[in-house]
Amino acid sequence: MKKIPVTKIVAIGIGAALFFFLGRFVAIPSPVPNTNISIQYGLLAALAAIFGPVVGILAGLIGHFFIDFSFGWGVWWSWVIASAVFGLICGCATRSLKINEGEFGPKGLVIFNGGQMLAHAIAWIVVAPVLDILMYAEPANKVFLQGVVSAIVNIVTTAIVGTILCIAYSKAIPKTGSLKEED
């Protein structure tokens, strides 16, 4: 079995904690019941792009679990799983990015945002509603409306928050050869 590097374990822990905090205390209710405008997906997409799909899956799964658990209504597993799927797809779709090497230019911006749009569409328009129907016998029209609204608002917030985080992180990484020894 392959060990997970310590940096990824730390990223999972910090990512899950920040995902929880943002989802629990910074969520803005939307006009559609039980649907929020959430900025935590920008953080999750950036973490998945920087550290990979395992971090994306686990930070999304753990963070969303604790959001639901903290509200006291029980864990809504269909949406917890959808958050994990979002992290997985973001991590896989952005594997070619070199954010850890200090690179996040126009091509990276397109790859990152294309990946997060695809991930949101699959997670919220397919996974969450289908699991809501299968697991909780929810009415299809209700859950697909929630899914579409969630996908749209999450795409917008992730494009803003996630892009800013990726740019900031890439700028904080010294470029190869940028450090010179002084005489």
25-40, pLDDT tens digit by residue? 999 998 888 889 999 9
Whole-Å CA distances, 158 to 8, 58, 140: 21, 18, 26
Task: Kindly report the pTM of this predicted structure.
Answer: 0.93
CATH number at residue 125: 1.10.1760.20
Number of domains in the chain: 1
pLDDT in tens, 146-163: 999 999 999 999 999 999
pLDDT for 180 equals 64
Instruction: Tell me the C-alpha distance between 59 and 61, whole Å.
Output: 6
Residue 27 and residue 41 in contact, taking contact as beta carbons nearer than 8 Å: no
Strands, E, within the chain: which ranges? 28-29, 36-37
Structure confidence by residue, pLDDT tens digits, 89-118 = 999 999 999 999 999 999 999 999 999 999
CA-based nearest residue to 86, from 117, 132, 108: 117
Whole-number Å distance between alpha carbons of 144 and 154: 15
Determine the pLDDT at residue 4: 86
Q: pLDDT at position 181, please?
A: 63
Question: Would 165 be classed as within a structural domain?
Answer: yes
How does pLDDT run across 39-76, given as a tens digit for each residue? 999 999 999 999 999 999 999 999 999 999 999 889 99
User: Is the pLDDT reported for residue 179 higher than 60?
Assistant: no
Domain range for 125 is 6-172
Residue 181 lies in a domain: no
151 within a domain of the structure (yes/no): yes
